[in-house]
Every structure is written in structure tokens, then in C-alpha cells.
Amino acid sequence: MKPLVVLALSFLLSSSIVRLAAKQWDFILAGNIAMCTMLCFTSIGHFAAARHIDYEKANFNGSGLNYLWFRVPLQILFIGWVWYFGIKN
């Protein structure tokens, strides 16, 4: 669920910054910035999963690639996010 938190917080932050800078709401841009930010952070997590790195405990006893199967339902949300903010409009 950490990627979802990163996605939500970066969406809120980027939409606020865009509002302040452009004097209007641009949720499409904010959604794209949020997805880019989330993908940067999750790519680091996939590197760690492949090498059994546990960033929270700072050791090499991570669960490996098996933990990625837990995230499959979350990927459906991410696919919908990209469709809405990137393809639909």
C-alpha cells in the first residue's frame, strides 16, 4: 500500500503546486506527475525485491519477488489511473 500512499500524496502535492503556479486546476498534469513519481519509487522496490533487500530493516532478508504477487490487485488501480489521466483525455 506504500505505492498507493506515494501516488495519493504526490497527486495532492502536485495538484496544489500546479494550482499555485498556473492559477487553475490541472488534474491531468497532476495525475501524470503523481504516476511518474510513484513509478520512480516502485522501480527501486522491484530492484530490492529481486535481490531480497529489506529497506525497512536494512538487511538482505526481504521476501523476494513473491511479495509482488500481493500487489497484483493494486496494479489494476494503477492501470485505471494511467488510462484516466493519460489515455482517456
Instruction: Tell me the pLDDT tens digit for each residue of 9-49.
Output: 999 999 999 999 999 999 999 999 999 999 998 888 888 88
User: What is the per-residue pLDDT for 75?
Assistant: 87
Output the average pLDDT for the chain. Answer: 90
Q: Which of 41, 60, 43, 39 is nearest to 51 (CA)?
A: 60
pLDDT at 9: 96
Percentage, residues of the chain above pLDDT 70 = 99
Q: Is 23 left (phi over 0), alpha (psi -120 to 50) or beta?
A: left
Q: Note the pLDDT of residue 62.
A: 86
The stretch 58-78 carries a mean pLDDT of 86
